[in-house]
């Protein structure tokens, strides 16, 4: 029996061509599945973000009580880890202040607490309201700021086990209306 090397080479090259075409078809189908999986997980990730909204402001004798609401639209419950309040002020640097540059400074006298009763304006402590750190669908947060209601811009940052959310607004409006423009906050 005579062994033909040329025929053997042709058979091997043809079989490798068929295998490579088969692998190319599998790769194209796998790419489609991976893209569909990416879009599904992206939509689920975006719908799982928490959202923070300023609802109302109330002036008391020496402080301002702000009512904010945290919404958790995802299927996984969230736990509040921290909450910070910042005020937009002019920069301390003379040159930057001359050009109107502003910076965010933390409001150190601010106190916050999650609550079930939004009408109780006495400042609460962690030992009193630790059960309200858990957010299934929504949670009211009351913030006490020293001073009077002003027209400065404030930034409220909340951090949960699902991520963080930042909401910028002024607190001078006593009655808050529904906005006509949509602005997505900064998320991580």
The side-by-side arrangement of strands in the sheet containing 111-115 is 51-59, 63-71, 138-146, 111-115
> 51-170 domain in CATH 2.60.40?
yes
Threshold 0.85, pTM exceeds:
no
Contacts of 57 (CB under 8 A, 6+ apart): 64, 65, 66, 67, 149, 171, 172, 173, 174
Q: Please name the residue that has the structure tokens 């991580």.
A: 188
Cα separations (Å) of 131 from 120, 126, 146?
16, 9, 26
Residues of the chain with confidence (pLDDT) below 50: 186-188
* pLDDT score, position 181: 64
Q: Please check whether residue 57 is in contact with residue 65, taking contact to mean a CB–CB distance below 8 angstroms.
A: yes
pLDDT tens for each residue of 135-154:
988 999 999 999 998 888 99
**CA 100 to each of CA 87, 128, 171: distance values in angstroms, whole numbers, following the listed order:** 15, 43, 21
b/e burial code for range 142-159 (CB count within 10 A of at least 16 → b)? bbbbeeebeeeebbbbbb
Q: What integer pLDDT is reported at residue 188 of this predicted model?
A: 40
Domain boundary assignment for the chain? 1-47, 51-170
Structural element, H or E, at residue 67:
strand 63-71
């Amino acid at each position: 029996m005579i062994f033909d090397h040329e025929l053997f080479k042709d058979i091997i090259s043809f079989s490798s061509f068929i295998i490579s075409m088969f692998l190319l078809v599998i790769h194209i189908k796998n790419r489609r599945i991976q893209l569909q999986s990416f879009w599904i997980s992206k939509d689920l990730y975006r719908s799982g973000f928490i959202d923070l909204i300023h609802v109302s402001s109330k002036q008391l004798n020496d402080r301002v009580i702000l009512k904010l609401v945290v919404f958790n639209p995802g299927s996984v419950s969230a736990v509040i880890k921290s909450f910070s309040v910042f005020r937009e002020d002019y920069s301390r640097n003379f040159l930057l202040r001359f050009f109107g540059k502003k910076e965010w400074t933390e409001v150190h006298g601010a106190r916050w607490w999650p609550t079930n009763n939004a009408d109780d304006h006495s400042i609460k402590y962690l030992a009193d309201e630790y059960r309200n750190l858990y957010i299934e669908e929504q949670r009211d947060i009351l913030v006490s700021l020293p001073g009077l209601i002003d027209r400065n811009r404030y930034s409220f940052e909340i951090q949960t086990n699902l991520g963080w959310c930042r909401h910028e607004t002024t607190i001078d409006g006593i009655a808050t209306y529904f906005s006509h423009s949509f602005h997505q906050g900064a998320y991580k």
